[in-house]
């Protein structure tokens, strides 16, 4: 890991009690959902291929991971020892290093949290006899969507100086993405993260959602890079 911003963020997150609590809450919610969703007699549904429990776990994952990723980058969740992108402008790091490090640390964290929840997801797949391949497809989609939306948090951290403004912008964005996209025409409904996850759990991640959120993340990264360069030159 040659990027010093990436190293610093991962080191801070691995040592942060606040992040440990977030991980415990995440696993606790997933565990409770799996426990409550298991049939009283496992053998009775051994031949059932009902994917509802696995899909419900995936829904919780995309909601929590998207919020955690974007909130950490937007500084809504303050991680001890992790510096905001705008604070690093005055350190001896180019804007590209800052944006690259922040973006990669967010992606690594998302993948790590997906791995944390993988045993519970595999358990539901084994009980319901759901193909693992479809779950891997859904996990890949979740990583792309959570990263893309998380990049908006990074952008807001340099666009809005006031914490209140960042928080309002962040929550309005989440509301628009998770609720507003349900009002789109059926041909675009897969832009809704929950709808896209459901489709991916069936083995076919919607290409429009993957492209849209990957493009969103790249666009926000470029915008953040340009903004940091202007701040450094000011």
Q: What is the mean pLDDT of residues 77-95?
A: 88
Instruction: Say if residues 105 and 73 touch (Cβ distance below 8 Å).
Output: no
> Which of the four pLDDT bands, split at 50, 70 and 90, describes residue 51?
low
pTM of the predicted structure, to 2 decimals: 0.91
Neighbouring CB atoms inside 10 A of 52's CB total 13
Between residues 141 and 43, the one the model is more confident about: 141
Three-state secondary structure call for residue 192: coil
Question: Which of 31-35, 178-182, 213-217 has the weakest average pLDDT?
Answer: 31-35
Place of tokens 């998380």: 150
pLDDT at 49 over 60: no
Q: What is the mean pLDDT of residues 20-44?
A: 80
Q: What average pLDDT does the chain have?
A: 89
Per-residue pLDDT of 143-197, as tens digits, reads 999 999 999 999 999 999 889 999 999 999 999 999 999 999 988 999 999 999 9
CA atoms within 13 A on the CB side of 158: 27
Considering the chain, what percentage of its residues have pLDDT values greater than 90?
A: 65
Contacts for 209 with CB less than 8 Å, ≥ 6 apart: 141, 144, 145, 190, 191, 193, 196, 199
Per-residue pLDDT of 99-150, as tens digits, reads 999 999 999 999 999 999 999 888 887 776 777 777 888 999 999 999 999 9
pLDDT at 39 over 90: no
Q: How far is the C-alpha of 24 from the C-alpha of 48, rounded, in Å?
A: 31
Place of tokens 């000011």: 234
CA atoms within 13 A on the CB side of 138: 32
Contacts for 25 with CB less than 8 Å, ≥ 6 apart: none
Predicted pLDDT of residue 41? 45
pLDDT at 58 over 50: yes
């Amino acid at each position: 890991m040659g990027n010093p911003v990436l190293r610093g963020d991962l080191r801070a997150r691995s040592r942060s009690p606040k992040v440990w609590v977030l991980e415990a809450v995440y696993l606790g919610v997933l565990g409770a959902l799996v426990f409550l969703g298991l049939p009283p007699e496992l053998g009775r549904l051994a031949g059932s291929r009902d994917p509802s429990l696995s899909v419900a776990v995936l829904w919780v994952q995309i909601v929590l991971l998207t919020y955690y990723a974007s909130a950490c980058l937007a500084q809504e969740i303050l991680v001890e020892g992790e510096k905001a992108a705008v604070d690093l402008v005055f350190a001896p790091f180019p804007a590209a290093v800052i944006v690259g490090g922040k973006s990669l640390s967010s992606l690594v964290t998302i993948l790590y949290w997906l791995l944390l929840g993988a045993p519970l997801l595999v358990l539901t797949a084994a009980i319901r006899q759901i193909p693992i391949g479809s779950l891997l497809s859904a996990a890949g989609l979740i990583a792309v969507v959570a990263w893309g939306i998380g990049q908006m948090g990074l952008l807001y951290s340099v666009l809005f100086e006031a914490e209140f403004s960042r928080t309002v912008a962040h929550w309005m964005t989440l509301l628009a993405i998770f609720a507003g996209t349900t009002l789109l025409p059926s041909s675009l409904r897969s832009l809704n993260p929950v709808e896209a996850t459901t489709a991916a759990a069936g083995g076919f991640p919607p290409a429009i959602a993957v492209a849209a959120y990957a493009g969103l993340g790249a666009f926000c990264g470029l915008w953040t890079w340009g903004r940091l360069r202007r701040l450094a030159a000011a």
